[in-house]
Each structure stands twice: as structure tokens, then as C-alpha cells.
Amino acid sequence: MLVKNAGFEWSGRNKRPPKDPLNAMISFGNGVMYTTILSELYKTALDPAISYLHEPSSKRFSLCLDIAEIFKPLVIDPLVFTLVNNRRIQPKHFRDEDGMYFLNEEGRKIFLMDFEAKMKETIKHRKLGRQVSYRYLIRLEAYKLIKHMIGDETYKPFKAWW
């Protein structure tokens, strides 16, 4: 993992609970991403509990997990690197509760502010030929799934071209 800040060390991915600040930030970011995806799915006709990669469950919205596999590497991972490498998030932004790490309130505010800025960023969509935000890209992914299910188009997951 490319982290320049000496205040953070990477020993591998762990969760439930995160055992270091980087894993805490990744887990928090993933949770925010799932919520954002769910919000966009509610604007479509898709049932967020019915998925194609993760096992469907009535206890979770597995379609959010499926779509998050596409967007976490594009949004969450670079955001974590940027926040740490630019020292916007520092070890003081975490609390340690018996070896379990969590972002404190100030750390969550910084993360969420930068996350929202990222979701508003736009890229020129190759097929549409216009600028679309990362948030709208998520909804477009849901629309592609709908088109696939009704037989209009074969589903091709979003792939970054930049």
C-alpha cells in the first residue's frame, strides 16, 4: 500500500473490528460507499437485496456490495491514500478502544467532506458524451443492470479508462 505518512502502518486488511487506523478508515469508507449506492438504487426499480455476486440475503442489501466492488477502488482507496499522504487525516483522528480503531468525530467530518467532494467530481462519460458525477455513475451502473435484465443490452461493468 502506498502510504508515505510514517504515522500509519499497514499490516494487511482486517475488519470487524479494524485493528489499526488504516483499516478503520477503509471500513468507514466502505460503509459510506454502501450507503451511497443504496441511495442511488432507491432511485431505480432494482431491489437492493437481490444481487449477482454476493449471496442474496434478507438481512443485507447484497446488490450494494456487488456494485461497491466496482466503485470502492475508484473512490475509497484513492481517498484514503490522499487523506493520509496529504496529512489531512492523522493518528489523532482515531480512537483506540481496546485494540479496535475508529475514526473520531473530527476524522469522520474530514473523511465525509472529501468523500462528498469526490462524489461531485465529474468525468466525461464515453458513451453519453457528457460530464457525469461519480454519484451519477453509480446510478448509471444500476440502469445498465436493468437493461441487461430486460434484454436490451448485455451487462458490461463500468471500467475506468483514465
Domain membership flag for residue 12? no
What is the per-residue pLDDT for 106? Answer: 97
Domain membership flag for residue 48? yes
What is the β-pairing status of strands 94-97 and 100-103? antiparallel
What is the per-residue pLDDT for 1? Answer: 46
Give the model confidence (pLDDT) of 106-153 as tens digits. Answer: 999 999 999 999 999 999 988 888 999 999 999 999 999 889 888 898
Average pLDDT over residues 71-85: 93
Domain membership flag for residue 111? yes
Non-local CB neighbours of 86 within 8 Å, separated by 6+ positions: none
Q: Give me the chain's average pLDDT, please.
A: 86
Looking at per-residue confidence, does 5 or 80 come out higher?
Answer: 80
The pLDDT confidence band at residue 155, using thresholds 50, 70 and 90, is: confident
Domain membership flag for residue 67? yes
Structural domain harbouring 46: 21-120
Looking at per-residue confidence, does 54 or 113 come out higher?
Answer: 113
Domain membership flag for residue 14? no
Domain membership flag for residue 100? yes
Contacts 24+ apart (CB under 8 A), 135-144: 135/36, 135/40, 137/71, 138/36, 138/37, 138/40, 138/67, 138/71, 139/40, 139/43, 139/44, 141/67, 141/70, 141/71, 142/40, 142/41, 142/43, 142/44, 142/46, 142/67, 143/44
Q: Does 18 have pLDDT greater than 50? A: yes
What is the per-residue pLDDT for 2? Answer: 47
| Domain tally, the chain | 1
The CATH code of the domain that includes 57 is 1.20.120.920
